[in-house]
Structure 1
Amino acid sequence: MTGPIVSPERPARGRICLLARRAALRVGGGVLVLFAAATLTFAALHLTPGDPVTAILGGPSADPTPETIAAARREYGLDRPLPVQYGLYIARLAQGNLGQSFSQHMPVLAVLRTQAPPTLELMLAALALAWILALASVLLTARRGPAGAVASVIETIGAGLPQFWLGILLLWALAFELRLFPPAGNAGPLSLVLPALSLAIPLGGFIAQVTRESFDLALDQPFILSARARGLGDRAVRLRHALRHALLPGISLSAWAIGALVGNAVPIETIFSRKGLGRELFLAVATHDMPLVTGIVLFIAVIYILAGLAADTLYVLVDPRMKAPRS
């Protein structure tokens, strides 16, 4: 007696439904993340010493009169009770209105449009370099005797390096001493190499560590033994079978890393004098520019949410086990 005939379209439909459910959960969680980020930013900026009116009126050197300060407070609603300020702040954000930058006297969205592309470029370059370094280390040295042990030690050391210290070291060695790369600015691909390496080497160490562990576990699985019994060579077994399973922890780590890379861009963009959100965030906090800080923090939160959605999608596409059950 034969079993029920299963349409070949059913696994595809099931996988699409699984993707849709995971995306819906991510979007719902993302709304909560944005609300929490906005609330924490509001609280932190009001607890930070300093007066935003100083930034509004041109900085400490402006020396405004008390009447001018009072007028600015009324204009921007800073004379109202804190709960009222918070309510108006959340209402404006819900309408997509990020307001005007106090220090730059232009819409926050305009600042994001000009400063976000260099940071996204740096972030994507660092993530790509990190994966290249991690995969090269794992594929070339995993289960290779002493070479694997040495590579594992190097990965551990690399993962523990502070990005800002590594950036200063690379700047001194490769820019000032050897003059191989420009020391600062955003002028062309060469100016991107040192900042991207500063972020990529520690991240590559983390990705390599988790990928190496899962790669070693995958090589001991029965399907690997079956592949070898069918006559597949070592390279084919590693690339076509073991690697697909070993990528999954690294994909999860990358979703977290994308959000962390934007935060780590603050010291790196400052060290290399690059345009970008990291440097703008540092300056905005220093000048107590609340709308700009809020806009950058929310932008980082959105990037983190989108990275989580992308990771979930890749998980379902890469992992052969995550299929809807057939009935």
Structure 2
Amino acid sequence: MLRYISRRVVYAVFVVWAAYTVTFLLLYQLPSDPVSIMLGGAGGEVAANASAAQKAHLAHEYGFDKPAVVQYFVLLVRAFHGDFGQSVQSHVPVAQLIAEALPSTLAISSLGLLFALVIGVAIAVGANFTRNAFLRGLLFSLPPLTASFPTFWVGLVLLQVFSFRLGWFPAVGNGGFASVVLPALALAIPGAAAYAQVLGRGIEKTLREPFIDVVRAKGAQRARVHLGHALRNATIPALTLVGLTVGGIFAGAVVTETVFSRQGLGRLLQASVNTQDIPVVQMLVLVSAVAFAIVNLVVDLVYPLVDPRIARPAH
């Protein structure tokens, strides 16, 4: 078990490092000039009128005058020590910008993940448990249908129904728990569709396994067969999706926070990409990679609890 955990931790660290490295390489290849952006925009009037001394000073201050390899290792060492530099646009420490935006995104992401799990498991279990053929077919058809809905469209529909018509939730802003519900639902629906589809088919397949016949022959109640045996054995593929969903939720936050006019990491990423604020973009990608690695590490550690055979060494 210890060897299994150690290997997973190493994989998680590698994912974070790889994300940081790829991000640096991509950002370094951008055709724009960060110094020109700081002086008023690439090709802008302020940048054109700036003296060579001003440009050289800014390039030296931010390390843009060094070779790419040197920049990479300098930034990597600083990141390892928790120093992520300053925003090119606002001149505020990047860590401060992230700390201010993170709680809002964390709120809708966490609630969205919870909604996705609850809705997905409910649909999967309900589709296999019901004896009504019409309801069963309807529940099994929901996941592929809802998976095709774009996040921005789901958000607009939720706004139209629950904010403008019913008035149950606020339409925009960061005003307490009520303002979190609709953005979280908009993020949850695509994930819930994936969980329901994978878990539903997994339960359906498990219910045809020979050991289920043995469980039924021993007199187990129908609910126990579905929840205590079939659901547990069909959980592992769905658990894998939980880790993969984290990246999708972060990407969806960009759209969701724009639709609901919320301040968070998504809006910060959008603004930073528009202004090519490289330190902020790189830090946001790193935060996303760390979150992805942590969630996948937790999922990997849960696997042996569901199926102890996973952590056993191969012979």
Shift of 1:62: 8.4
User: 2 CA distance for matches of 1:225 and 1:95?
Assistant: 57
User: 2 CA distance for matches of 1:75 and 1:189?
Assistant: 42
Partners of 1:142 and 1:212 within 8 A in 2: yes
Matched, 1:22 2:10: no
Partners of 1:22 and 1:312 within 8 A in 2: no
Which runs of structure 2 are paired with 1:35-50 in the superposition (5 Å)? 35-50=17-32
User: 1 CA distance for matches of 2:8 and 2:217?
Assistant: 42
Which runs of structure 2 are paired with 1:3-152 in the superposition (5 Å)? 18=1, 20-57=2-39, 63=46, 65-66=50-51, 67-142=53-128, 144=131, 145-152=133-140
Matched, 1:250 2:232: no
Q: What residue in structure 2 maps to residue 12 of structure 1?
A: none
Describe the superposition over 1:156-191 as per-residue Cα deviations: whole angstroms up to 9, x where unpaired. 111121112211222233222332211111111111
Q: What residue in structure 2 maps to residue 213 of structure 1?
A: 201
Aligned-pair identity in percent equals 38
Shift of 1:58: 6.2
**Which amino acid is 1:37 matched to?**
A
User: 2 CA distance for matches of 1:57 and 1:140?
Assistant: 59
Shift of 1:55: 4.6
Query: Runs of 5+ in structure 2 lacking a partner?
Result: none
Q: CA RMSD in A?
A: 2.2
Q: What residue in structure 1 maps to residue 165 of structure 2?
A: 177
Q: Which moved more, 1:214-223 or 1:76-85?
A: 76-85
Q: Which moved more, 1:197-206 or 1:144-153?
A: 144-153
Q: Which moved more, 1:311-320 or 1:243-252?
A: 311-320
Partners of 2:162 and 2:168 within 8 A in 1: yes
User: 2 CA distance for matches of 1:175 and 1:62?
Assistant: 44
User: 2 CA distance for matches of 1:324 and 1:72?
Assistant: 56
Scaled by the length of structure 1, the TM-score of the pair is 0.87
Q: What residue in structure 1 maps to residue 188 of structure 2?
A: 200
**Which amino acid is 1:232 matched to?**
A
Partners of 1:174 and 1:180 within 8 A in 2: yes
Structure with higher RCO (Cα < 8 A, 6+ apart): 1
Q: What residue in structure 1 maps to residue 151 of structure 2?
A: 163
Describe the superposition over 1:233-291 as per-residue Cα deviations: whole angstroms up to 9, x where unpaired. 21121111111112111111101111221122111111111121111111111111111
Scaled by the length of structure 2, the TM-score of the pair is 0.90
**Which amino acid is 2:296 matched to?**
G
Compared CA separation, residues 82 and 122, structure 1 to 2 (3 A): same
Matched, 1:223 2:211: yes
User: 1 CA distance for matches of 2:216 and 2:41?
Assistant: 70
Partners of 1:26 and 1:305 within 8 A in 2: no
SS at match of 1:104: coil
**Which amino acid is 1:286 matched to?**
N
**Which amino acid is 1:40 matched to?**
V
**Which amino acid is 2:14 matched to?**
L
Describe the superposition over 1:54-92 as per-residue Cα deviations: whole angstroms up to 9, x where unpaired. 453466888252243332112212123333323322332
User: 1 CA distance for matches of 2:3 and 2:199?
Assistant: 27
Partners of 2:127 and 2:200 within 8 A in 1: no
User: 2 CA distance for matches of 1:134 and 1:35?
Assistant: 32
Number of equivalenced pairs: 308
Query: Runs of 5+ in structure 1 lacking a partner?
Result: 1-17
Shift of 1:29: 2.0
Describe the superposition over 1:206-259 as per-residue Cα deviations: whole angstroms up to 9, x where unpaired. 100000111011112233222222222211211111111121111111011112
User: 1 CA distance for matches of 2:153 and 2:8?
Assistant: 35
**Which amino acid is 1:127 matched to?**
L
Partners of 2:126 and 2:139 within 8 A in 1: no
User: 1 CA distance for matches of 2:200 and 2:222?
Assistant: 16
User: 2 CA distance for matches of 1:164 and 1:243?
Assistant: 32
